[in-house]
Each structure stands twice: as C-alpha cells, then as structure tokens.
Chains A and B, each alone.
Chain A
C-alpha cells in the first residue's frame, strides 16, 4: 500500500480530502492531552488507589514553568522542559507529603484545593504570569515561549512536504508529537505494571495495611505515584501551551481534572490502553455533537458538553463502573 509513488500515500490523500482537517487535528491534540492527564490519574486512582483531583494544577505548573523559564530566564526550550517537569514533581511532593496521610475523601478535597491555589496564583501574580492576559512572550515580544517549538514544527512540516504532502495543517506536527508522547507514556506505565514496584502499588491499593505488614512503605509508594502523575500532567501542560500558543489561568480550571476523570472511567480503571480509547471516545462525543451543529448557539453547545460528560459519568458509575476496558477483578471503585 505504501510502496510506489510517495504522492499516492493514502494518508496524505485521506487528510487533504477531508475539508475539516484543521478541526480533526485540533480534536486529536486535545484528546491526546486529556489522555496524558488521565494516564496520570490511572496510575493514581487505578493502580495506587489514591483519588488525585489536582491534575489541573500540576498541568498548570508544567505549562507556566516551561513558558516562564524559556521567556524570562532565557533558558533553552529543551532545558525548560525537564525543569518544568521537576517543578510539577516538587509541587506534587509538597501537596502529597501532608495530604497523603489523610483519608481518601480528605485527600481528594485537598488536592482539588491545591490546584485551585495554583490557578489563583497564576491569575493574580501578574508580574510572574501576566495574570488574566495569559502568558506568551516577553515585554518587547522579542522572545516567545514557543519560538523554538515553532521552528521544530516548521522542520517537521518540511519533512512532510518532502514526503509529498503539499499542505499539512500547521498544528499537524504537534499532533504527531502529542500522539508519540501518549504512546511512550502508555508503554512506560504499562511496563511498570509488572515490575515489583508496580505490584507493590497494587498491593497498596488493595490493602494498605497488608502492604505495610509486609514491610513496604505504603506512604512512599503513594507519594511516588503522585509525583509521577504530576510529571505526566506537566507534559500535558506543555502541549496545551503549545497548542493554544498561550498559557492562561482559565485553561486550568477544576473542570479539566473532571474531564480527565471522565476519560479515565470511560476507558476503564486499571487499564492503561483503555485511557487512550476513553479519550478518543469522549472527544468524539464532545466534538461530534459540534459537527452535527445541533445548536447554533455557542452557549448551548457548551451546555451540551456538560450534559454529555455529566450523563457519561452518572451512567458509567451506575451501570458499568469498570468502563469499556476496565478489569472487573481489579475493581477499585466498589468495596
């Protein structure tokens, strides 16, 4: 199929024939970002049994730190990426150290509150984050956080054109990178599942006291789980920043975390590959209704999104809490 004239690549034909390829690329990127967020939640809620509701905050730390380091300190884009990940991990530890000792419900509320604190700081610490204007460039616009990415993106587009695709979408390279990241993170997490470390995590999830009786430091394992999840959320934060070309406080509302949980339970708990399927299905549902143009009004479209996610959550929890691909024998939701 792929042999012969490169201009006849089916992929290229397919994409260029779709009139709304921009739309598809956008949805694909968002689905990828939410898959990343939900992968972290899968590690926490699905495999460690901790209900982390602070994912939006870790994501914000990732996006903002990357942008601020690149623009304000002039650090290389490549250096700011791992540093922003470290910042998210540090914040995860800061939040987790006191709150992971609490009961599950308290932990959920504490993480949610910590994410809101991050958002309010982003909104009000104008000197650092440019407040409600959002963060993109320095004062004289000579340096923007996505300069480096834009040149990488241009290079990838050049390669695609060399392959014979005349007019790829500007955001297509980002989609490729996001997909690659989702794939790598999924594989990495899946590999940890069968390591001794992954087995202890599940032991902690099943029975914390039993794990402790076996000499495992349950608290340390939970903390590691939270920190890794925060690091993955930071990656999602970079991609959201690059996708929107700005870092803005309203992109990190608690809704983001709730949507990520919808992705998680749709795909099913205790299954990493299910997260990808969950994200694809949820975004197809959300954006599919927009394509149908049921409602001309924007407010109604937004309302419809809430209705879809709300119904998804309620019906799943009531009738199929293990989601599409969750393992019933690893059900962590019920008692």
Chain B
C-alpha cells in the first residue's frame, strides 16, 4: 500500500485527488454510485420494473438488516464472530410457528413470543458460554468454533422438535397491496415497515441514550470502558437481549415471506455477514444501510441475470467489500 502511494507521481494527481475524495466521503460516493446504477437500470429496464423489484429488495434487505444489527452489536462489543446467529434467526421463525400454528395464537402474539424466546437464548448463551470463555481469554478460532457448536445444537433442537420438512406460518403470503401502480406482497410491505422502524429506533437509541453510549464505549474498548466505571457485564447482557430479540424478529419476518426449514437462518447468515461488513462492524445504522443495499442488489440482479444466481450476489458483494473496503462504507480505516 505504501509503495503504491509513493509510486503515484505528480501527473497522476487528478486520480489521486479522486481517490482521496472517495475515501474521505465513502457514504457520499456509495450514494452517487447507487444513484448512477439506478439511473442506468431505469434506462435499461423501465421505471416500473426497477421500482417493483426494488420494493421486494427492501423487504429482503429489512430481514438482512435486522439480522445484521444484532450480529454487528455482538461482533463490535465482544469481538465474537457468532456463526450461531443464523440459527437464532431460524429459532425465531420456529417459535413463531409454535405460537401461530400449533397453539393457534395470532401472528403478532407469536412474534412477541419469538422475540422474547430468542432474546432469552441470547442471554442464556452469554451466561453459560461467552462470559466464561471471555474470562478464559479465549482466542478467535476457539470462539468461532464454539459458536458453530451452538449453531449445530440449536439446529438439532429444531430438527428433533419440528423435523426437516418444509413448514409455513399461518399467514397469507400471496396477498398483494397495490399503490402507485406497483404491487408488493402484503407481508413484504409489513416487513419493510417493521424493519425500518425498529432499526431506526435501535440506531437512535445507540446514538442518544446513556445505554447506547455505553454500548458504543464498550465497542471502542471494552477494558477502557470497564476502567471508566461502566458495568460492562450488564451492558453485554443488554447487547445479547437486543441481538437475540432482533434475530428472532428477523426470523419471524422471514417466515412470513419464505418457507420454514432448519437451514433458513444459515442460508441468510452469509448475507447478514455481508451487510455487517458493508455497514462497518459495530455500526447499527451501517447495518441498516448494508442490509438494504444488499437486499436491493440481490433483487435488482434478477433483472439482468437468472434469479437462480440471486444467492451468489450476496457472497460476491461480501468478497468485494472485503477486498476493496474491508472497514465498510462508514467504517474508519483502522487495522483491518
């Protein structure tokens, strides 16, 4: 990298200025690129199609974003790459199934049930696994493998209880809502609305409240925050409460759009990771934007390539982000 900077001579200063501008204002650059992309797409495929796939992109994006906020908080504060997060999402969907189909409760009650259950699981995993492992100063690989173990345990529980066949929540997935000449699935619209409201609320909470400030302090430097008199264990428990609850919510919303199967969350996990890295680790608003951008990219890609390749878009974005800008759109270039 240093060699590259030195090699840029005087005659390349225009390019250099552009590069500086890009790295000084990453969000603005991303916005400009996105805007250009949208204009090109509208020119190629027409406004109506772009808008309609865009809407379904936003609903996919909401699910990614909800999953990503929890993952990014845990990742940022505990430096834990939680591979079980996808299975947290799955569990949320299945708990909603338990309430909604098995017990016949209304969906919104089941949703609350799922959020509480997965939040409790988050706190339980913190108490039983992550806190003791932190005390032992466990390394990254050790924690990653442990989270994979937890993922497998949750998945085995789901398979014992509900089997591997595809299930569905008691919700009309085909009902559509029409507005401005666009049609969108009713559950998709609800997902977008819930997603944006909840994540904005969490983002504001992180910016404005004392709890949010403390969380960000932990994310910056856990030991320093502890020295400053913050009750870190308590803040970490709150973090898990949020992470679990949001994962549960993401699972239920995913369950209103997608079929329920034990791999549901795991198939979303890499896309959720991509959203986290795109937004910058530890940044809730970043996770929102990252999730939405990824959802849009995934759905818009179907305008140009076969929708079979949809899943690969998330992975390619993930790899590109890691190569080009590993600190994410909003992240500052630290040691990456």
User: Which chain A residues border B164 with CB–CB below 8 Å?
Assistant: 299, 302
Contact: A313 with B141, CB < 8 Å? Answer: no
> CB-defined interface of A96-115 with B at 8 Å, one 1/0 digit per residue?
00110011111011101110
Number of interface residues of B (CB under 8 A): 50
> Counting CB contacts under 8 A, is B309 at the interface?
yes
User: Which chain B residues border A300 with CB–CB below 8 Å?
Assistant: 159-160
Of the 9-residue stretches B5-13, B111-119, B132-140, which lies at the interface with chain A?
Answer: B132-140
Known: A105-B81, A310-B153. A332 touches B139 (CB 8 A): yes
Contact: A124 with B306, CB < 8 Å? Answer: yes
> Counting CB contacts under 8 A, is A258 at the interface?
yes
Contact: A113 with B315, CB < 8 Å? Answer: yes
User: Which chain A residues border B64 with CB–CB below 8 Å?
Assistant: none
Nearest Cβ in chain A — how far from B94, in angstroms? 13
> Counting CB contacts under 8 A, is B163 at the interface?
yes
> Counting CB contacts under 8 A, is B105 at the interface?
no
Nearest Cβ in chain A — how far from B59, in angstroms? 22
Contact: B322 with A314, CB < 8 Å? Answer: no
Contact: A117 with B146, CB < 8 Å? Answer: no
- Listed residue (A45, A102, A265, A318) with the most chain B CB atoms within 10 angstroms of its CB: A318
Contact: A313 with B129, CB < 8 Å? Answer: no
> Counting CB contacts under 8 A, is B335 at the interface?
yes
State A332–B140 Cα separation when bound (angstroms).
10
State A297–B326 Cα separation when bound (angstroms).
45
State A334–B133 Cα separation when bound (angstroms).
10
Contact: A318 with B133, CB < 8 Å? Answer: yes
> Counting CB contacts under 8 A, is A23 at the interface?
no
Contact: B136 with A334, CB < 8 Å? Answer: yes
Contact of A112 among B145, B159, B270 (CB under 8 A): B270
> Counting CB contacts under 8 A, is B149 at the interface?
yes
> CB-defined interface of B225-261 with A at 8 Å, one 1/0 digit per residue?
0000000000000000000000000000000000000
Task: Mark out the residues of chain B between 140 and 157 whose CB falls within 8 Å of any chain A CB in the assembled complex.
Answer: 140-146, 148-153, 155-157
User: Which chain A residues border B273 with CB–CB below 8 Å?
Assistant: 109, 113
Q: Would you give 10 A-B contacts (Cβ < 8 Å), ordered by A?
A: A102-B326, A116-B311, A117-B312, A120-B309, A262-B145, A299-B164, A300-B160, A307-B152, A317-B149, A321-B138
